[in-house]
Amino acid sequence: MKIIQFICSAASLFTMLTHAHQQSQPTGAIQMKDTIFREYDIRGKVDSELPINQAYDLGRAIAYYLRSQNPSCKTIAIGMDGRTHSLALKNELTRALNESGMNTVFVGTCPTPALYFSLFTGDDIDGGIMITASHNGPEYNGIKLCLGTRVVWGKELQKIKGLYKNKKHILSDTIGTASNAPIIPSYLAWLTNHFEHLKNIPVSCIIDCGNGAGGTVMPELVKQMGWKNVSLLYEEVDGTFPNHEADPTVEKNMRDVKKAVTSQSFDFGIGLDGDCDRMAPMTQHGELVSGDKLLALFAQTVLTEHPGAGIVFDIKSSSGLIELLEQWGAQPIMSPSGHSIIKDMMTKHGALLGGEISCHFFFKDRYFGYDDGIYAALRLIELLHTTQQPLSELLTIFPKKESSQEFRLFCSDEKKQDVIQAIKDALSQTNDVEISTIDGVRAVFPFGWGIVRASNTQAALSMRFESDTKEGLKKVIERFYALLANHLDAEDLKPLLSAQGIA
């Protein structure tokens, strides 16, 4: 009899975990688009691609996924940015997780790195959900998902897509709890404690929060650090982003910072992106600094303390960075672009530092190894204070290169992988080129190099070009233009030509 009861109990548990329920939906309800399940997160336009009334089913699919990966997964931290629909998404996801028998802890409106911080420092937290669309416009929203302290990405997100489409969920006879535990106070306490040596120093800087989640931290951080000469721009959290797109790596979004540093004599400027996992610096002369150049400065400091350390950089980075890392005796590690891949590569190689040209910086040296724009800003301030040199002077160590900006040319999500494959095929028939295909195509010619890859966050192709000379740079761009012209409209290619004076 006991054996029969045990078998029945086991069968009941199996049914709870595997039952597929077809929840009734209103006639004509918009389903979530397949394209929102991207490489590193779930992200799309609210209503047309990511309908709020489907967030409950998505949350149940997420709960099913988390429990299938870790049967003891019980408590999930949830954070959100200040977008106008983030609260509605949070409420639906919380309800879905709770009704799946999982507990939720709402850590508040906060930056993405603060949510990550809760995973590394909180008690009994088994995973995290950050509701954000990073730097995308106000019509977008999305989810960054973590299991334990690791980001869920790539094929795992595609599994969640399948679970959502099949209405998979956990049948639970208990309702989980929903509690609140704001993370910003402990996040601030950690930062101010670990940068105690920077308190009350004369920092002359302007920081643009871009109306993003940085506004939940920066005013109080500046106050607690006692920085009298630090000025904040657009620190009010406003999900409509009324002043500019919250992407500080784009020149036009840093116009107000440039005006301030050049007219008000700030020593440097900093821009934060919408969810604060990125920061971009600007010199006192108004030069916007790319992520690979700042990574070189960070690497030089880390290598002083840890000779031979592994430094991970993305495939779009300058060859000048590689030259410096080799010169300094580092272990240079080239990686596909993407914050999740960089973190995995750092773990695989035991690297202490990683970075992308897009200004994600990952410090395993004295930190947890995830991308945190606020922490990176503190490390920059520390570097400038320690060296007592302006940022522009420190950057003179970087080898002279003729480098283009990072271009993003429109290409539909359905088409961009086909374009990449066609370019691979064409270049493989060419004798004067060496190609790397770990992420798109990076082609090295005798006169320079270029890369084209599919953006993981936009319907776009991302590309960058570099040479030792202006003539070589022009030749690289012309070579790629000829390849792309077979697949993109001339109108979409215009920015590529006009920016280099080729048109």
Provide the pLDDT for residue 275.
Answer: 98
Residue 206 lies in a domain: yes
Average pLDDT over residues 193-220: 98
Res 500: pLDDT: 55
Catalytic annotation, pick one of 134, 403, 462, 467: 134
pLDDT of 13 reads 39
The residue out of 155, 182, 209 marking a domain boundary is 182
Q: 306 lies in a domain? A: yes
Looking at the fold, whether 8 and 109 belong to one and the same domain comes out as yes
- Whether residue 19 is predicted with pLDDT greater than 70 in this model: the reply is no
- pLDDT value for 499: 56
| 176 and 288 share one domain | no
> For position 108, which CATH number holds?
3.40.120.10
Please say if the pLDDT value at position 318 is more than 80: yes
What is the secondary structure of 293-313 as a DSSP string? HHHHHHHHHHHHHSTT-EEEE
What total of structural domains would you count in the chain? 3
Domain that holds residue 131: 2-182
Give yes or no: 194 in active site.
Answer: no
Please name the residue that has the structure tokens 């007592």. Answer: 388
pLDDT, tens only, 471-482: 999 999 999 999
Q: Catalytic residue, from 38, 43, 67, 135: name it.
A: 43
pLDDT at 3 > cutoff 90: no
pLDDT band at 368 (very low <50, low <70, confident <90, very high): very high
Predicted local distance difference test score (pLDDT) of residue 148: 97
Query: Does a structural domain hold residue 503?
Result: no
Q: Mean pLDDT, to the nearest integer, of 115-121? A: 98
Q: Give the pLDDT confidence score for residue 134 in this predicted structure.
A: 95
Could you say which DSSP state residue 177 is in? Answer: P
105 Cβ partners below 8 Å, 6+ apart?
75, 76, 77, 78, 118, 122, 125, 179, 180, 181
Q: Describe the strand order of the beta sheet including 331-335 as a list of residue ranges.
A: 331-335, 310-314, 353-355, 361-363
From CA 347, how far away is CA 362, in angstroms rounded? 11
Quick one: average pLDDT of 282-289?
97
Co-location of 248 and 156 in the same domain = no
The answer as to whether 295 is a domain residue is: yes
- Selecting among 67, 278, 360, 442, the annotated active-site residue is 360
- Whether residue 117 is predicted with pLDDT greater than 90 in this model: the reply is yes
Q: Residue 496 pLDDT > 90, yes or no?
A: no
Helices (H), 151-183: 155-165
Q: Are residues 135 and 74 in the same domain?
A: yes
Under DSSP, the state recorded for 34 is G
**Which band of pLDDT confidence, cut at 50, 70 and 90, is reported for residue 29?**
low
Torsion of CA 247, 89, 147, 115, to 10 degrees: 50
489 and 362 fall within a common domain: no
> Looking at residue 210, what is its pLDDT?
98
Mean pLDDT of 366-377: 98
Q: Looking at the structure, tell me whether residues 153 and 226 fall in a common domain.
A: no
Domain final residue pick, 131, 148, 182: 182
366 catalytic residue (yes or no): no
Question: pLDDT exceeding 70 applies to what percent of the chain?
Answer: 93
- pTM value? 0.90
Residues 14 and 111 reside in one and the same domain: yes
For this structure, is 360 an active site residue? yes
Q: What is the mean pLDDT of the chain?
A: 92
